Amino acid sequence: MRELVTGDFIWLLFAARWTLGLTVVAIVGGSLIGVIIMVLRVVPLAPARAVAIAYINVFQGTPVLGQLLIIFFGIPILTGANVSPWAAAIVSFSLYAGAYLGEIWRGSVQAIPKTQWEASASIGLSTMEQLRYVIVPQAFRISIPPTIGFWVHLVKDTSLASILGFIELTRAAQIMNAATFRPMTVFLTIASIYFVICFVLTRLSARLEGRLRVAR
């Protein structure tokens, strides 16, 4: 057995960039989907709301690990196309994040008093204009804590991509442990790295809340 040396630690840090990269891409993709889901949930069209609710039920009601495996193995079976672990992880986590972010933002929008909708409608704004100019700017403040809370959750969920062979932080730790036979050292190290990432995000949330409270 050998000790975990500086080079090993640096290798784990480099693996953490893939965890961060996957998280950022999933947040971007999930945000785009989430905006669509949020709009479908608040527009006065029953079919649109039904589609959004069905999407949310599917992706919130099934484990993200199952979604990863279905996309990674299912698409090649159905289409014959090869799917890389990176592509499968991006698609899976984006779809997963979209369901949760859409609901978070829908709740934030619906938390705005009805009088704000009525006032903006009285000056001739369409539903989309009401959302853009009146409702969303106010809902943004409300949505910050749960949104960043979900981002923290997503950082940790990316570890599930290791089952596909994608070498992010958790998979790198598994490889490192097999080489060093130092499970406590290796896994405590990656736990510390995850903690630092999540702590930075929670501090970001607190600072944003503080600034917007002052701006209000």
| Nearest alpha-carbon partner for 173 in 188, 158, 161, 160 | 188
Residue 139: HSE in the Cβ half-sphere, 13 Å Cα cutoff: 28
Instruction: For residue range 93-145, list pLDDT tens digits in order.
Output: 999 999 999 999 999 988 888 888 788 888 888 877 887 888 888 888 888 88
pLDDT band, residue 90 (cuts 50/70/90) = very high
pLDDT, position 54: 96
What does the angle CA 179 – CA 184 – CA 189 come to, to the nearest 5 degrees?
85
Q: Are 64 and 82 within 8 A, CB to CB?
A: no
Domains of the chain: 6-215 (1.10.3720.10)
Q: Is the pLDDT of residue 4 over 50?
A: yes
- How much of the chain is in helix, strand and coil states, percent to nearest 5? 85, 0, 15
The stretch 145-158 carries a mean pLDDT of 92
Tell me the whole-structure pTM to 2 decimals: 0.87
Dist CA 108 CA 111 (whole Å): 5
Number of H helices, E strands in the chain: 10, 0
pLDDT in the model for residue 89: 94
* Side-chain half-sphere exposure of 93, counting CA atoms within 13 A: 27
Residue 215's pLDDT is 44
Give Cβ neighbours of residue 143 (< 8 Å, ≥ 6 apart).
Answer: 104, 105, 108
